[in-house]
Structure formats: structure tokens, C-alpha cells
Amino acid sequence: GDSVTQMEGPVTLSEEAFLTINCTYTATGYPSLFWYVQYPGEGLQLLLKATKADDKGSNKGFEATYRKETTSFHLEKGSVQVSDSAVYFCALSDTDKLIFGTGTRLQVFP
Amino acid sequence: NAGVTQTPKFRVLKTGQSMTLLCAQDMNHEYMYWYRQDPGMGLRLIHYSVGEGTTAKGEVPDGYNVSRLKKQNFLLGLESAAPSQTSVYFCASSYRGPSGRTDTQYFGPGTRLTVL
């Protein structure tokens, strides 16, 4: 069945460092791909999405490109802030639901 | 436009008690979902619904029941609570995208349930 694999965390960075969180997927057909963010004590929020191959989703300085040839959707940000500390989930669309990765915790220190 | 709301926000139960969690959405979405999230863990799908009057089992359905009598509401019931059901419960809703697959899910703020 469809699945999503994310790099394990925590990812620990200093402020202004470059961020990459890896996400690869296995799917039949052409799913949409998503990144969600969960801040402490809150529900998940959509960060960005891409609906077809080569699409780039972007929001709040974060970017991810839908790579069909490598079945990947890696999340990147050029300069992280302390306020980016959160858990990040990669997901793909199945017919009736989203398939989520296990989440990657990001900790950014001043 | 409130989005997805959940009631209650917090609850403490004793083992064997029952309760119902309410989820409401005002976005006219077809799909609704119940997840649980244990500390430091990812999301696990309990039950979901693809439309009014329908329900389906997710990954961890045992010990829970659901009902979707109205399109905007999705209820999660615990008939006899157990300590293993201590968790944070999230509701979400979504719509069918142009591809025919489900699209963006919108999440509620969560219900923190403790079973003693």
C-alpha cells in the first residue's frame, strides 16, 4: 500500500542555519503531497502542498518540490528561526484519506 | 468561519466510564476523520467518514465507535474507557480534490483525554 517515510529526529539547528527534512513516498497513481506543521499544544496546520510532478510548494520561507523520479518531497528552508521549532509531518493523498509520515521534530536554538 | 472545532478540550475519565467527543466543521467538507496522538508519537487514524451517514475503520478502531448523522458533525464514542486510551484526539475534515482523491485536511485543536 501507499506509504511515507521521513527522516527521524530530532533535528537540532542553530538560528539562521539551512534546513532539510527528507521525505520519500511509495504510491500508486499520482497523489498530492503535503507538509504539515504542529506547534506545541496545537493541532496540525498545512504548511505547503504540491499536486503534480515538478510542482513546488512554498510558504513562510519553506519549500518542497514534488520529484516523481526520486519519489521524494524534501522540505527545505534557507534560514531557520527559533519560532520554526515544531514537529513536521509529510503526507500523501490516498483515495479517501491522507497517509502521514511519523513526523520529524525540529529544534532551533538561538 | 470557525473551521474545525472540538468539544471538550480536556477531560478526565475513570476506567470503565463512557464519553463522546464532538467534532464540528463549517466548511461543508465531505470527509471527516478522528486521530489519536500519543506523546512523542505520530498520528494514528481511528475512524473516518466519506459522507453523511457513512463510517469506516482506520488503523486503530478497537474500543471506539463513531457516528456521522449530520454532514457537519462527527462524533467519537468511548463505551468503556481504558488507561490505554489516554491520548490527544484530533478531528479533521477535507474535501475531494480535482484528482478525485482527498485533498487538504483541516485539523481541530485537539481534546486531551486522561483515563485513570
Strand partners for A64: A57
**Segment B85-114, tens digit of pLDDT:** 999 999 999 998 888 888 999 999 999 999
Q: Is B116 exposed, middle or buried (0-12, 13-18, 19+ CB in 10 A)?
A: exposed
Chain A hits for B108, Cβ within 8 Å = 43
Q: Calculate Rg over the CA atoms of chain A.
A: 13
A29 vs B8, higher pLDDT:
B8
Helix (H, G, I), strand (E, B) or coil at A59: strand
Q: CA torsion angle for A3, A4, A8, A12 (degrees, to 10)? A: -170
pLDDT digits (tens, 9 = 90+) for A57-97: 999 999 999 999 999 999 999 999 999 999 999 999 988 99
For B47, other C-beta atoms within 10 Å of its C-beta total 23
List B residues 57-96 in contact with A (Cβ-Cβ < 8 A).
58, 90, 92, 94
Round to whole Å and give the CA distance between A84 and B83.
33
**Contacting residues of A for B33, CB less than 8 Å apart:** 97
